[in-house]
Structure formats: C-alpha cells, structure tokens
A and B are shown apart, each in its own frame.
Chain A
C-alpha cells in the first residue's frame, strides 16, 4: 500500500507570544514543529506500515526551512519526503495550497492520502477536503481511528455528540485528528539515515507544471483577501473563587455591577 501524508511545518503556538503594541505574532526564536494533527496522521500511516507493510511518503509545501519537518518525519520512519518549494507558491491561501498539493499528488502513487484536520497556525481545516475535491477522491474528515479491510478502510469519524463508523473504498483521503494516535519518537539511527541515506526531494513549479493550473497557485491564485487582522484587547489575569453556586452567583452579579455591564 502506498500512503501519502501531507504535513505542514508550523510555529509551536504554545511558545508564540504576541507583540502587545502591534498585535502581531512574534515569530523570532519560536521553534517550528510538525503540525500536531498531521503528526498524528503520520503515526497512523507508520502503524499501517508496521502492521501490513506500506510505503509512506511525506509531502509538504513550504519554504526551504520546512526541510527540518520532513527530516523529522523520515527519522520517525517515513520512506520518502518531497518538499514543494518555489517562490511562485508563496502567499498561498487554502485554495492555492490545495491546488499545488493536488498537482504534486497527481505525480505520486497513492492508495491513501492522510492530512491533518487543521493546522494550529491557521485553523481553517480546508486544505485536506479541497485536495480530495481536486483529485475527485472520496474523503472522510475528523478521523480518530483507522483500520484496513481488503481494498477498503474502516474509519471512525468523530462528531461533537457521537461518531460514525464508515467503510470507504481506496483510494481515498482522510483528515486525521490529534487524538488518532500518539506519535512515536525519532530514533538516533533513523536521524542519521534521514540525513545520510535519504533525501528530501525539492519540487519546484517546473516539476508540476503539467499537472497544475498556474492561475490557481501562489498569492495571485488565492481568492482569500485578508482585510484586517486584530487582536482582542488584553485581559487581566482571572481570579478563581472556590465557593458554592450561591456564593458564586453573588460574586458574578457584584462584578457585573462593578463594571456597569448590568445595573
């Protein structure tokens, strides 16, 4: 089985701080990580590889620094890594990103494509489903569990108040939840293999030009326009009162009165 896992390198949002004056992210010195949902999907793919034997390819679009994320995936056990990197891809919104990734996927053998549900730096949850649309594949999003049955997979799709168990014919695309699996650690031996034995293939626009519509990539191919970005006003630290409900209600009313929210 050939599995392609799409991963994104994101800033570790646990470590990101906001510039209080401009309200923008301070990205300097913030460590980059593999997006958690994507890493969970990668682990699911590696588990299938362990159980049934599979060829796992990781695919990412990003600047040259995304090499580190792909090497990490190789050091966890992925077989092959491809980085889509070209100035022409820059400034992409979800539409342009999914168009570019889909163009690359048309050149890769796959039975199953796994993407994360959403990235912690954008939270759109659009790229995975859009890829499936571009490729005309069946898709299941919000997947928490996965097993193979013949030429199909059985997946557990999570809703807020329950789940569906769905049988899907391969090839298909699923979007993985963080809860799907706990990613394994890299091993020292595989770290060395990732740098000395394996390579991260760099694909530029030229490598996918016959499978992509150039009007759908990069900043120019992005219909999303950001009008303005702002941060909500900084709040002071909250206070915890360990009291019963009656007492709590009294405190809340007092505070609301104090701030003239009620009168």
Chain B
C-alpha cells in the first residue's frame, strides 16, 4: 500500500480558520455552557459554523458543501474537540451520522431536498438508531414501519438521540419485516414537525452536557414513501456503513479532547512550583507528559490514516474502528492523567480538565462501544 498522507496548504488554512474560530467563539463560553446543560448556545455556534462552510465540510460544492475531504474533516474535528467536546459531538452527528447516509444512499430528489440545506448549515441533522432494547445489538430493533398506501407508518421508541428537538432532519431506522431479522430493517428520513414524532425525556448526563439527547416516541408517524432511504431491508447496512464513517469523527474527537487536556496540563506543569521547581522538572511528571504526547500523536495518525483511506476509496472499516478505539481510550487516559497532574486544582471546576475527563467517557461508549470496535477489528483480522 502506498501511503502518501499529505497536508496541503488548503488543509493548513482550514485548520487555521477553525482554530481561530474556536479560540475566539467557542473557548470563552465552554465551561459556562457545560454548567448550563443547555443546547441552545451550542446550537447558535453550529449556525455560525454553517456560515464558515463547516456544516457541509466534506461534501461536494454542487450540493452546498465545501468540497473538502475527510482529512480536513478530521483536522477540523480535532480543533473543535480540543476546546469543546459538546460542540464536537453535535457537529459529528450532523456531518457523519445524518449528513452522510442521506447523501450516500439518497436519491437526487432526497439530496436536493435534505442534503443541500444541511450542508449549507440551514438545517441540522440527527440519527435515530438506538432503542431501549437495541443498543449494541441494533438488529434487535422493536420499532416498526408499515406501508399503507403512499406512506409508511412508524411506531416505537428511540433513545439517546443527539440534537433531537433542535434538528430538522432525522435518519430513523425501523423494522419493515420482522421475520427477516437485520435484513428487515429499513431507514427513513423524518422531518422534525411530523405529527406523532414526539420528543420526550431529556437525558441528564455526566459529560458533553451542552449537547441534547432525548427519547423520541413515535406514534403512528406518517412518513411519505419517497422518504425511504435506500431500499427496504437496507437499513442495517446503511446504519453500519454510516457508523464506520462516523468513527473517524469520534476518533478525531478523542484525539482532540486528549490534546486539549494535555496542552493544559503541560502549561500547568511548567508553571506550578513545588519543592522549589516546576513540577514538570520532576521526572514522574515529565514521563507522564511524554506518554500522553506519544499516545496523542499515535491517535492522530490512526485517525488520519482512516480518513486518508476513506478519501482514497479504500476499505477503511477496520482502520476507523482502530482509530476510534485507540483515540477514545487515549482521551480517557490522558484526561485522567491531566487531572492528576493538576492535583487538587484539577478536581475543581475552575480548570477545564475535569470537564474534559467527564466528556472523554462517552467517546468510549457511543458510535459503537470500544468492545464492539474490538469485535469489528478481530472480525476483520481473523477473516
């Protein structure tokens, strides 16, 4: 395999622009938004990102996107998550979990109707796969979709749905033929204001607290036939391939969170004096920083390798799973060590590392737990 991962000047300018935006607009209120546990200010930031061309970053310009590649998307994700993983989460759901399946599996009409406004940043996307009894085992879906005339009638409960209530466009999975198991799942595009599409309980969380996740109760939701995504029975494949790509976004998130915590701890260690010298001059701290830095660089490279393979139309499912698992485990480890380096100060909400540590935990769980990633990776190497 020829691996010629290159950063172009264009990548560098995009990274510079995102960093500039993040430093000026995202960083100042990140702690406050976390405390507020309210999605509204994060939603405002997403709108601003739309104006900069970020909400359709890796999609073609003729569909309202910015025409960038997965490398640019990964770099942007790292910069955003370095400062605010809540914003990063909402962004990744929009781009990867909602934007991608509609664009990849959608008809030309569906692309024009849904992808274009999403990529222009006029509409926000969400993804409804998880159910109370169908988490990692997404084939155990209990939601149903029955074709009646020109409409499918959807019933059932979805949970942990990020961006819900705010998002305009939802990719929702339901069983069209229970007898076929996972081959009986289909995907639908559901608009927010469809009658019977009810947003109920809002979850209270440990981390990513300025995102919103709700339960969606579907009661006889009438979805026009033309909103079937792909063909009947393709839902499971759509969900799995969507998550393959989404993992690049979450890997970038893990690397970004880790990088943010590491940089903060590094600066703190250089300034904090104990026993007459900066604690960074103690080998025990210096070695911690060396480990953190090395793992972050490895996580970034795995992430960029998966992005590069996707850009080059090569199989990337295993790479994305490895990147996701390694980068998010790194996020958990590095943020925990960052809190440790800050000591008692790190445990206080005065410093951002405790927030980053709380935010890191979910990255090991969502878009496929890291145990599921091992299933994906081992399944491929033992094939």
Contacts and interface: CB of A to CB of B under 8 A. Distances in A.
Partners in one complex: yes
A185 B16 CA distance: 10
B79 to A, nearest CB: 13
Interface stretch (B60-68, B231-239, B345-353): B60-68
A188 B52 contact: yes
Nearest to A33: B16
Nearest to B57: A188
Most chain A CB within 10 A, of B14, B57, B72, is at B14
B20 A194 contact: no
Contacts of B68: 188, 192
Most chain B CB within 10 A, of A72, A191, A194, A195, is at A191
A195 B16 CA distance: 15
Interface string A132-143: 000000000000
B135 interface: no
Contacts of A72: 13, 16
Given A72-B16, A75-B17, A188 B9 contact: no
A185 B20 contact: yes
A194 B53 CA distance: 14
Contact of B10 (A185, A187, A191): A191
Contacts of B17: 75, 185-188, 191
Contacts of A71: 9, 13
B51 interface: yes
A189 B14 contact: no
A191 B72 CA distance: 12
Contacts of A189: 53, 61, 66-67
A194 B51 CA distance: 17
A1 interface: no
A253 interface: no
Contacts of A166: none
A192 B61 CA distance: 10
Interface string B46-58: 0000011110010
Interface string A96-116: 000000000000000000000
A71 B17 CA distance: 12
A192 B13 CA distance: 9
Given A71-B13, A72-B16, A195-B9, A188 B21 contact: no
A191 B57 CA distance: 12
Interface of B: 8-10, 12-14, 16-17, 20-21, 51-54, 57, 61, 66-68, 72
30 contacts: A68-B9, A68-B12, A71-B9, A71-B13, A72-B16, A185-B20, A185-B21, A186-B13, A186-B16, A186-B17, A186-B20, A186-B52, A187-B17, A187-B51, A187-B53, A187-B66, A188-B17, A188-B52, A188-B53, A188-B72, A189-B61, A189-B66, A189-B67, A191-B10, A192-B61, A192-B67, A194-B13, A195-B8, A195-B9, A195-B10
Interface of A: 68, 71-72, 75, 185-189, 191-192, 194-195
